[in-house]
C-alpha cells in the first residue's frame, strides 16, 4: 500500500552518506564524488509509519496519497494516533503545521513517542534521557526487594539480572 502511495513521488528527506569508512569526517559529505545520497520518505515498523518531508506541502501530498492508498485496500488511518512534529531550522520560529487527513486537521506536538523513543521538535535528547533514567530507576527499585537484597542469590546472578533488565532500559 505504501509503495503504491508514494511511487513516482521523489520528495522526502535526502540523507547523504559515505561508503569509504569516513563516517566522522563531515566535510566528505559535501564532496559530490565521494558521497552518495538516498531518499527517505517513510520510517516503518510493523503497523507504525512515520512520513518525513522537508516542506509542509510535500508532507501534505504524501499524506493525501497515503490516505487514498489506504482506502483502496480497505484500511483506515487512526486519526487519534496521527500527530505532526515539525522540526524547524535552529533559531527560527515558523508558523505551526496545518496538516490534514481527509479534511481533518491533525494536532501539532512538541514531543512524540515513536517505537518507544521520545522525539523532540528541537532535536534535544533531554526528555528521552530523563525517560530512560526513570524507567531504569523503577526497574532497579523493583529488583531491589526481589533480587538485589536477597542473600540467597549469588552476586554473579544479581549482575546478570542487572545487565539483562536494567541496562537495556537505560541504554
Instruction: Give the C-alpha separation, 96 to 108, whole Å.
Output: 7
Q: What is the pLDDT of residue 137?
A: 93
Top-confidence residue, 29 or 108: 108
C-alpha cell at 36: 552518495
Whether the CB-CB separation of 108 and 56 falls below 8 Å is answered with no
pTM of the model as a whole = 0.68
Average pLDDT over residues 108-135: 87
Q: What is the pLDDT of residues 75-119, one digit of tens each?
A: 888 888 888 888 877 777 777 778 888 888 888 888 888 888 888
d(CA 90, CA 94): 11
| Cα 13 from chain centre | 14
Cα gap 156→3, rounded to integer Å: 50
Residues forming a β-bridge with 84? 108
- Identify the bridge partners of residue 120 per DSSP, sorted by sequence position: 111
DSSP letters of 75-124?
----GGG-EEE--PPTT--PPPP--EETTEEPEEESEEEETTEEEETT--
Please check the confidence at residue 70 and state whether its pLDDT lies above 70.
yes
Exposure class string for 112-140: b at 16+ Cβ within 10 A, else e: eeeeeebbbeeeeeebbeebbeeebeebb
Amino acid at each position: 500500500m505504501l509503495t503504491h502511495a508514494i511511487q513516482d513521488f521523489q520528495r522526502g528527506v535526502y540523507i547523504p552518506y559515505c561508503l569509504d569508512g569516513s563516517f566522522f569526517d563531515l566535510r566528505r559529505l559535501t564532496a559530490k564524488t565521494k558521497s552518495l545520497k538516498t531518499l527517505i520518505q517513510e520510517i516503518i515498523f510493523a503497523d507504525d509509519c512515520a512520513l518525513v518531508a522537508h516542506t509542509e506541502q510535500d508532507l501534505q501530498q504524501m499524506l493525501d496519497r497515503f490516505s487514498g492508498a489506504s482506502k483502496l485496500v480497505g484500511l483506515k488511518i487512526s486519526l487519534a494516533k496521527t500527530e505532526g512534529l515539525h522540526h524547524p531550522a535552529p533559531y527560527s520560529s515558523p508558523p505551526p503545521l496545518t496538516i490534514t487527513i481527509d479534511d481533518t486537521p491533525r494536532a501539532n506536538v512538541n514531543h512524540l513517542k515513536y517505537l518507544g523513543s521520545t522525539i523532540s521538535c528541537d532535536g534535544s535528547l533531554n526528555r528521552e534521557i530523563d525517560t530512560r533514567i526513570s524507567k531504569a530507576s523503577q526497574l532497579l527499585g523493583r529488583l531491589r526487594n526481589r533480587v538485589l537484597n536477597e542473600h540467597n542469590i549469588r552476586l554473579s546472578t544479581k549482575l546478570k539480572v542487572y545487565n539483562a533488565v536494567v541496562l537495556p532500559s537505560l541504554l
